[in-house]
Amino acid sequence: MTKALGHPVRLRIVRLLSERHTCVTDLAAEFPLAQSTVSEHLRVLRDAGLIQGEIEGVRTSYCVNAAALAALKASLDALYGLNRLSSNYDEARRQEVAMAKTAVLIFHDDDASLRVGVSVSERMRQSAPDAGVEIEVFVFGPAQAVLSGREDGEAREAFREGIDDLVSHGVMVGACVNVARANDVESALGERGLHLDFARDVFLRWGHEGAAVLRV
């Protein structure tokens, strides 16, 4: 039915016939077309069940098939409703996915901050699957220098091991690519599985995702 209405002439014919019963001669007068062309459009509409003709003397009077048009309208309304439902679901799902992230920004390099950063990230990693939350860790600023392995100390070594453990468990751990390049450790951090990106882009992405950010 919808294919039959895909032509503007046939669509106008249906509109005219919804207002009055008429014959092909009268219809042809409404268009700059030959009567044979209008007759062909009528045939397509009749074959689709959208119009029907009744013989009145020597001519056929055409009118719309009200039941068929009502059924078509109901189908289109139902389809429109499903599309709206699908769109609403997709939008809700996008919002749900965007909000279901917690990001840990490890910035400070004092022993307490390094311990807390790794400890909190690990505890959240363990509970994230049940909570339906995605965890992401980003090491930036003074804390990123600790990742290079050039500083000794128990807390620093534990921090590096904790970061490697998070990576091994599938947590997305990132660091600033500019800082990594400046310290000539870009390749080393990449080999350890860290995602190197511009800090600005990471922070903008978190904002777009609606992530909850914990800064340590």
193 vs 182: CA distance, rounded Å:
19
Instruction: Please give the Cα distance from 113 to 132 (Å, whole number).
Output: 26
Helix axes 111-131, 154-168, angle to 10 degrees: 20
Question: Rg for the chain (alpha carbons), in Å?
Answer: 34
pLDDT tens-digit profile of 143-186? Answer: 999 987 777 889 999 999 999 999 999 999 999 999 999 989 99
> Residues for the chain: how many in total?
216
Q: What is the pLDDT of residues 96-127, one digit of tens each?
A: 544 478 999 999 999 999 999 999 999 999 99
> What CATH code is assigned to 1-93?
1.10.10.10
The residue type found at 105 is L
pLDDT at 94: 58
Measured CA to CA, the distance from residue 103 to residue 203 in angstroms comes to 10
Helix then strand count (H, E) for the chain reads: 10, 7
Position 166 scores a pLDDT of 96
pLDDT in tens, 3-61: 778 788 888 998 898 888 889 888 888 888 888 899 999 999 999 898 988 877 778 89
Q: What is the pTM of this model?
A: 0.56
| DSSP letters spanning 21-83 | -B-HHHHHTTTTS-HHHHHHHHHHHHHTTSEEEEEETTEEEEEE-HHHHHHHHHHHHHHHHHH
Which of 3.50.50.60, 3.40.1260.10, 1.10.287.990, 3.20.20.140 is the CATH number of 100-215?
3.40.1260.10
Sorted by where each begins, the domain ranges of the chain are: 1-93, 100-215
